[in-house]
Amino acid sequence: IVLTSVCHSDLYHLFEYMHPEGFPTVLGHEAAGTVESVGPGVTEFQPGDKVIPIFLCQCRECRFCKSPKTNQFCPNSFLTQDPSLFTCKGKRVLQFMGTSTFSEYTVVHQSAVAKIDPAAPLDKVCLLGCGICTGYGAAVNTAKVEPGSTCAVFGLGAVGLAAVMGCKDAGAKRIIAVDINSEKAEKAKAFGATDLVNPKDHNIPINQVLVEMTNGGVDYSLECVGKVEVMCSALESCIKGWGVSVIVGWTDVYSITVKPLNLLCGRTWKGCMFGGKLFPLGVVFSYES
């Protein structure tokens, strides 16, 4: 592992999902590095290859991997593999999300690696291992943002900024970035946002603010925070009849309560993981983009 970044999911495992069975472990899943060696039967890689570990890998043989409708639920992914490929002082150390990149060396299955251009700057492309593909893909693959549309992106971390970039590349005419930190405005505009709205600057719910700004609601909204109240606000920010809202932020601690009328009115509520695209091709596509 040459470079690795810290994703919110790593912190989530520590502070929201902590349980005795999950430790000791080596965290980390957003990284880039160089193949040191390969095991028996590995045919797609050789020492020296520049690669990005993939936490949501596909076997390419099961019905889920062969379906263009999902990039999840492969029965042969890391979830069903041996959870421990490390030892420390003779004791088992659990692997995290099949990658465990907070380490000088890691061991992964060949299906959990994407080969990249040898000239790729590893300090930047390591973000393709999760955040960039997650946000960008949510806009392009899952929401399927259309040219000339109006979008709202909630949360301007790495995932949210990538979602803004995806909306821009998809041809959105107006991209409203929503965050409680107004200092993120300039960076959001650099990625393609046309407006920045800070909920703290208004005395009415943010969904009402967006509905008023857009004469009825946005065509697409993407929630990149991981809080259920923001997920509901993102849904209610969409225009009735055809609005699409995508849950991108991660949490499984809390449940969502929503009024059926918010969906019966014609809105669509979707969710995705890792950008909704099959990998490793999705990582290669995102890098080339």
**Residues identified as active-site:** 7, 9, 13, 29, 130
DSSP-derived 3-state class of residue 5? strand
**Rg of the chain over CA atoms, in angstroms?**
20
Strand partners, 152: 176, 221
DSSP character string of 111-140: GGEEE--TT--HHHHGGGGTHHHHHHHIII
Q: Give the integer Cα–Cα distance in Å for 279 and 104.
A: 24
Dihedral angle sign, alpha carbons of residues 168, 174, 177, 182: positive
